[in-house]
Amino acid sequence: MNLELIIPELSLLACAIVIILLDLFLQRKGWLAVISLTGLVIAAGFTIAAWGNNPQAIFNNMLTVDKFALFFKLLLLAISALVILASVDYVSKFARFQGEYYALVLVSTLGMMLMAGTTELISIFISLELTSISLYALVGFLKDPKSTEASLKYLLLGAIASAVLLYGMAFIFGFTGKTQLGDIAQVVQATVSSGSPANPGLILGVVLLIAGLGFKIAAFPFQMWVPDVYEGAPTPITAYLSVASKATGFAIILRIFYSAFNLPAWLSNDWGMIFAILAAIGMTVGNIVAIPQVNIKRMLGYSGIAQAGYLMLGIAAMGLSTSNGIMGQSSLIFFLTGYAATNMGAFIAVIAISNKVGSDLIEDYAGIGKRSPLLALALTLCLISLTGIPPTAGFMAKFYIFSAAVQQNLLWLVVIAVLNSVISAYYYLRVVKVMWFNEPKFEGRVSSSGALRLALLLACLGVILLGVIPDYVMKLTEIAAKIHIF
């Protein structure tokens, strides 16, 4: 059964069950966060221990344990740990349901970890739905009108996206008769080698896959759920959606398109150009619509749509690659790592500030720099990183992914991306201006728990270290980018 290869996932599942049971007896609910973090640390330990092993496929090639999967598992565990630390100040808003909250975060992380290692269409869909159902519940946890509306919209649109994705998988299975990604690749290549014309069903299946997975990464034109869900969800879950869900979506896109549709060259060039066009439109729409936003969560939501556009440069570079190079994949993975640290830091700062001012409106952030300079400095650092200004993780991530795109003759797309980075500076730096130069609207400092301050410190350290000394993480992403095909 090779159950030892999925010990990280099993330990996380056990921790979620323990939390639900202990919630019935514990009077001090703060211990639930400690137990959740302990479960994440244990899962991370098992994941790191597996790093030195050779790639292996388990459960009849439904799951694989390779460096690509292990890297994303560690990234997802780190994101979840930051979310739980940041939630300590927030869970008082649903004090009766803290056990369910932490358990659902762990279960959704479990689904994402499984998704990073899936190499078969059915297992991909099952792990995706395990994640999605948990997130639908977490978005509606506040139980107020905005949160309930956000959860309902996310559920309905997510169900449509899942149906589209499943329909695409059905077309691919109908054409190839296979569900395992490596087997699909062999059938596609054999058919083309025999001189048969391109099958319209296969092409339609690939297009539907792009549409279904595009919803998960908030890519244009499948991003319509983002602003309302980001605004209505609990802020830690908004952060979780913006980073973990996006990272998992790109992980499975890389896995599917590299493993199953990388050959023949005309097919990879076709889907590579589709992603390039979606990237150009997505980053432009996201940045332009973010400019008039007055709610910081909605602004960061549209920013996330634009960031998905930048990230798709890596997929486009992979699809249009004329060699077996891995720069497109590795640059995307590095970008996701830097974006995770940056966006988590921004949202953690938003949690602290919004708890004090009781509002998510940008104008109510006035004077934060005078009342809590360290907190304002942390948010400023993250916004500068999102803009792509050195010496931050955002600058190195954009430099790396733009370089990969230029190498594949996507200079036109890089020019659009650079212009969009300039546009984004307007709304990011507007928040900085409000915090540091406007008159304060409240008295006193912004107070927060030690757990939240620790999460913010870790995120900001990640932003700085990835910007100043990125070499070590770049090497890790290059190792992870070598996706193993069974």
Encode pLDDT of 362-407 as tens digits.
Answer: 888 888 888 888 898 999 999 999 998 988 999 999 999 999 999 8
Provide the pLDDT for residue 199.
Answer: 78
pLDDT over 60 at 1, yes or no: no
Encode pLDDT of 101-138 as tens digits.
Answer: 999 999 999 999 999 999 999 999 999 999 999 999 99
Distance CA 319, CA 275 (A): 9
Residue 183, token pair as written in the block: 């087997």
Q: Which residue has the tokens 């979840």?
A: 80
pLDDT confidence tier of residue 194, bands split at 50, 70 and 90: low
Distance CA 77, CA 110 (A): 9
Cα separation of the two ends of the chain: 17
Query: If you average pLDDT over every residue of the chain, what do you get?
Result: 89
Q: pTM of this prediction? A: 0.94
- Phi then psi for residue 64, to 5 deg, are -130, 145
% of the chain surpassing 70 pLDDT:
97
- Residues in the chain, overall count: 486
Distance CA 442, CA 132 (A): 39
